[in-house]
Amino acid sequence: MDDLDRRILQELRKDGRASVSAIAATTHISRANAYARVNRLVESKVIQGFGARVDPVLAGQHSSAYVTLTLEQTAWQDTRERLSQIAEVEHIALVGGDFDAILLVRARNNGDLRRVVLEELQAIPGVRSTKTALIFEDFDAI
């Protein structure tokens, strides 16, 4: 990874549908070089896929929260698998610090969010406790 690769990644974060020609123009390299570099980033799994950034409110998810979890350490693999099966869980991160994992949960409304936290998350045997921080407003930094 060099500075040019990082500039290409930045352009793709802004617009995952950007053409190779557009990437070449904004990074001031040839189209062939841009194509080769993007292809190498995909093959080396630096780029793991292309997707859409979605406005959660416009997509019907009016209630979002970060939920921190304190976990049974020995149950992480099973807990991670169960967390990944909950449709409202958008992101899972195992972290160090005062808690063990943090989730981004997006739900239709507060009632749905309540159900996810109190009925689904807390029912997982490896979850010792949860803390929920409601998101009032969020945005992509890119």
Assigned domain for 141 exists: no
Can you give the CATH number for the domain in which 18 is found? 1.10.10.10
Q: Could you tell me if 11 and 75 lie in one domain?
A: no
Rounded distance between C-alpha atoms, residue 116 and residue 132, angstroms: 11
pLDDT digit string (tens) for 53-107?
889 999 999 999 999 999 998 999 999 999 999 999 999 999 999 999 999 999 9
Q: What is the pLDDT of residue 128?
A: 96
Q: How many CB atoms lie within 10 A of CB 78?
A: 13
Q: Could you tell me if 37 and 94 lie in one domain?
A: no
Q: Could you tell me if 120 and 67 lie in one domain?
A: yes
The answer to whether 24 touches 71, Cβ cutoff 8 Å, is no
Assigned domain for 116 exists: yes
Residue 52 pLDDT > 90, yes or no? no
Closest by CA to 9, choosing from 30, 28, 23, is 23
DSSP codes joined into one string, 38-75: HHHHHHTTSS--------TTTTT--EEEEEEEEE-GGG
The answer to whether 111 touches 62, Cβ cutoff 8 Å, is no
Can you give the CATH number for the domain in which 97 is found? 3.30.70.920
**Which residue range is the domain that position 102 belongs to?**
63-135
The answer to whether 138 touches 91, Cβ cutoff 8 Å, is no
Q: Could you tell me if 23 and 81 lie in one domain?
A: no
pTM: 0.81
Rounded distance between C-alpha atoms, residue 6 and residue 11, angstroms: 9
